[in-house]
Chain A
Amino acid sequence: MTSTGQTETPSTTLAPRTAFPLHKRVLTALAAVSILGAAGCAGAEAESPASGSPAAEAPTGATTTAPTSTEEPATAAPSGSAAANDPAPTAAAASDQTYTDGTYTQTGSYQSPAGPEEVGVTITLEADVVTAVEVEPMPDNPTTTMYQERFAGGISDAIVGKKLDELAVDKVAGSSLTSGGFNEATGKIKSEAQI
């Protein structure tokens, strides 16, 4: 373990994640899934036998997956923003690893209902395993935090809808048939109110 300091302290990099507030953990899990998706694919292409399954287990945070490689070359601390999708060639050539260990930060932007917003994602890679993920909202205005918490899904523009008779569906889920008693009562009131 000669290359980077981070690889020797995987448990400390993991520890803050368990203390995240709930909503943040949800975001973190999503980010981890998408990032690991990329890492897993790249690992498979490089035919690195160790990279696939540990990576898949990492985001649960239930166990600390210790780095197994002891031969990673001492490379400069990575700073490229696209590193997560861009394997460092020297590391891959010299060992079983596809990625250089280290902490990577990427800034993403998206269109929120409040305008364009940014979110920062920081991941820690050790022996091709993501050992920590942090998602940092970077709000520009007061409503942004609220919208970023809705990251888990999405928000559409105003829905126009399609006519049911133009759709091939088996069932309809809605409220138009709800509460016969209620409808009966309002119908009665209407008829009583008629002159």
Chain B
Amino acid sequence: MADSFSFEAIGTSWRVDSRAPLLPRQRTELLQLAEEYDTLYSRFRQDSGVTALAESGGHLPLPRHGAALGALMRTLHDLTGGGVTPLVGERLAAQGYDADYSFVPTAPPSPSRAWDDLLDWTTDGVTLAEPALLDVGAAGKGQLVDLMVESLVAAGHQDVIVDASGDMRRVGDGSITVALEHPYDASSAIGTVGLGSGALCASASNRRTWGDGLHHVLDARTGRCVDTVVASWVLAEDAMTADGLCTALFVADPVELAGSFDFDYVLMYSDGRARFSTPLAGALFS
């Protein structure tokens, strides 16, 4: 890769590699995309749209990409019987994963509030019947990866990777080899996969942990942390879908998702076993 651009955005490290030079205005646009996205959705910022909704409810207008995110969240919500929902935000915060990173649970685990009673996500934006803290972490980072890739492709880049600390999307000929980081040992990998043009996302529950068995992946149906699945990886066409499926795989069987999405996956359970879709049978070390 001829040119590389690293930066911090939405609370994580990003790295963009491209065969062609990444021009200053293109770099600026990437940072702007991240800033706009963060301003809409971050529940860790006082000035974000999501924070305003949490304080007073009402309507938050969203740009065009908001409709795609809402549609995906709704599909995942329906396929997981409510296990995935943006309304998990207030439950995460109540478990201590809040804007101040207090890491002190303030309420016992409880199911997220029901989508239909509270939340209307249309092509125009989000409307809340009453205040609620939303969290689009299930697929938001992936969508921002997509927006950056699309921006770079529109600027003429034909061989480019956007990597948001393990959630990545690539455009280009051939393929690269990506290691699947061992969830219990960051210096090891459980396998490798090839990434051509498409997205690979990863999610693991063991990194963002606090307190007694608390981490950032909740089953919204119970409000409790998922402890059977410890990590998931998904290969899909776009990063928003791959990211969302990574989250959904913590609370749903892959077979339940296979009818609605075209993807490959690896799941790792807390006992160290792994499950995988057939095309990835050779990807894991055994």
Contacts and interface: CB of A to CB of B under 8 A. Distances in A.
B259 A26 contact: yes
B204 interface: yes
Interface residues of A, number: 41
A185 B101 contact: yes
Contacts of A191: none
Given A159-B273, A175-B166, A152 B189 contact: no
A164 B188 CA distance: 5
Interface in A141-195: 149-150, 152-165, 167-182, 185-186, 189
Chain A interface main SS type: mixed
Contacts, number: 172
Interface in A103-125: 113
Contact of A174 (B44, B183, B208): B183
Contacts of A170: 176-178
A62 interface: no
A22 interface: yes
A185 B208 CA distance: 11
Interface string B120-152: 000000000000000000000000000000000
B268 A159 contact: yes
Contact of B273 (A155, A162, A176, A179): A155
B197 interface: no
Contacts of B180: 173-174
A187 to B, nearest CB: 11
A49 B44 CA distance: 65
Given A149-B253, A171-B163, A179 B275 contact: no
A190 to B, nearest CB: 11
20 contacts: A22-B259, A149-B255, A152-B254, A152-B277, A153-B265, A153-B277, A154-B278, A156-B273, A163-B187, A163-B189, A168-B177, A172-B189, A173-B168, A173-B181, A173-B201, A174-B179, A174-B202, A182-B11, A182-B208, A186-B210
Interface of A: 22-23, 25-26, 30, 113, 149-150, 152-165, 167-182, 185-186, 189
Interface of B: 8, 11-13, 44, 101, 103, 161, 163, 165-168, 176-183, 185-192, 195, 200-204, 206-208, 210, 216, 231, 233, 253-256, 258-259, 265, 268, 271-278, 280-281, 284-286
Interchain residue pairs A-B with the least CB separation, the first 6: A174-B181, A158-B272, A185-B101, A181-B11, A175-B204, A177-B165
